[in-house]
Amino acid sequence: MNAPIMTQAALEIWLTNLLPDHTVIAPQPQGQQIVFAPLAQVSDIAWDAGRTDLSAKEFFLPASEAIITLRPSTGGLQVETTHLTRPQVIFGARPCDGHALEVLDRLFLDDPVDVYYAERRAMTTMVGLACSDGPWTGCFCTALGGGPSDRTHLDILLTACDGGFAVDVVTDKGRALLEAGAAVLASADVALPAPPVVTDLQVPVTAAWRAAFNAPYWAELAERCLGCRTCTYDCPVCYCFDVRDRVMGDGSIERLRCWDSCQGALCFAIAGGHNPRPTQAARQRQRYMHKFLYYPGREGAALCVGCGRCVEQCPVNIDIREVIGFVAANNRAAAAEVQS
């Protein structure tokens, strides 16, 4: 096929040209992990890293941020809010990372709009890489409507090929970014690599999850869980947060929004000390019911994109695909019992 091509050298020049006016966020090594982080120079990009260990979620919903600061002044209290100072580019996002933002958009951009998320979303351009170098441990994106070469939720999709990267400009925002960095494109006949085969999996319908609500399975699963919260913090679509205030040394008050997790013992505790989900079994069940029953019923999409990060990083090998398999088998068994 004939396609616009950007050589590796041209790609690096384009990204370098963007750095003065954009915050370019790309996969980089950090300790033993590969994470998205702001670039100081293009040579810091982990080009062959594959899927990052953490998603780019924190650049839209930070792990901790002061959403409002009340600062004493001569005229009373001065109210300050958080804003991005310049546009940002997420480079090297995988199709599942773009899909994750569409899933979060359904919540944060619906009325009432979350103004902090909305501003970051509007000021961000997503430059994705097709997963021709995948799949990775735990991937099942196709089961949730995505795919290794899915362009749907990105502004630009790059696919590695002979001679560099095939450039698929998806949106006007992507086209404007190419122009802003004076990207040099050539046209060539290229053979794009075949997308990798992803685990064949079918996610049960919401009724099947409802039918499994009282299954003993959740207690069995909880016996393995440490409540470490890794699965929710590395998930690109888990969004639970807490809001708390703190007084600073200068007398100002910060209202913080911080990530929370349904796997924490006190996540659901309310005033008076009551905890409606006091056991790890109840919290394990909540995690999956939220993803495949409650969120789809309210927002019209599963709260999961099949990226597989939770599968790879769970320290006790709890596998979301096994949970999906249990619910499917439970549903088949219930249907067979009814027929008999």
**DSSP-assigned letters across all residues of 124-159:** EEEEEE--TT---TT--GGGGT--TT--TT-SEEEE
Backbone angles phi, psi at 130, to 5 degrees: -65, 145
Q: Tokens 């960095």 sit at which residue?
A: 181
Note whether 231 and 150 are same-domain residues. no
Note whether 137 and 212 are same-domain residues. no
Note whether 121 and 256 are same-domain residues. no
Any domain includes 133: yes
CB 312 within 8 A of CB 137: yes
Note whether 156 and 223 are same-domain residues. no
Instruction: Give pLDDT, residue 4.
Output: 93
Any domain includes 198: no
> Which of 164, 189, 214 lies at the terminal end of a domain, its last residue?
189
Closest CA to 139 of 177, 68, 196: 196
Any domain includes 199: no
Q: What is the pLDDT along the chain (340 residues), one digit of tens a residue?
A: 678 999 999 999 999 999 999 999 999 999 999 999 999 999 999 999 899 999 999 999 999 999 999 999 888 889 999 899 999 999 999 999 999 999 999 999 999 999 999 999 999 999 999 999 989 999 999 999 999 999 999 999 999 998 899 999 999 999 999 999 999 998 887 778 888 888 889 999 999 999 999 999 999 999 999 999 999 999 999 999 999 999 999 899 999 999 999 999 999 998 888 999 999 999 999 999 999 999 999 999 999 999 999 999 999 999 999 999 999 999 988 777 666 6
Any domain includes 197: no
Instruction: Give pLDDT, residue 108.
Output: 98
**In residues, how long is the chain?**
340
CA distance 167 to 190: 11
Note whether 182 and 234 are same-domain residues. no
CA distance 186 to 167: 10
CA 10 to chain centre: 28
Note whether 177 and 237 are same-domain residues. no
Instruction: Give pLDDT, residue 312.
Output: 95
CA distance 60 to 90: 11
Instruction: Give pLDDT, residue 338.
Output: 67
CA distance 157 to 147: 13
Which amino acid does the sequence have at 159?
Answer: T
Any domain includes 196: no
Note whether 144 and 226 are same-domain residues. no
Any domain includes 195: no
Q: What sections of 202-339 are H helices per DSSP? A: 206-211, 217-222, 230-233, 280-289, 295-299, 309-313, 320-339
C-beta neighbour count of 85 within 10 angstroms: 7
Instruction: Give pLDDT, residue 295.
Output: 98
Element (H, E) at 7: none
Note whether 24 and 173 are same-domain residues. yes
Note whether 110 and 243 are same-domain residues. no
CA distance 87 to 174: 13
Strand partners, 258: 64, 242
Instruction: Give pLDDT, residue 340.
Output: 61
Note whether 140 and 245 are same-domain residues. no
Structural domain boundaries, residue 82? 2-189
Note whether 185 and 255 are same-domain residues. no
Any domain includes 57: yes
Note whether 225 and 90 are same-domain residues. no
Instruction: Note the pTM of the prediction, 2 decimals.
Output: 0.93
How many domains are there within the chain? 2
Instruction: Give pLDDT, residue 336.
Output: 74
Which amino acid does the sequence have at 295?
Answer: Y
Any domain includes 194: no
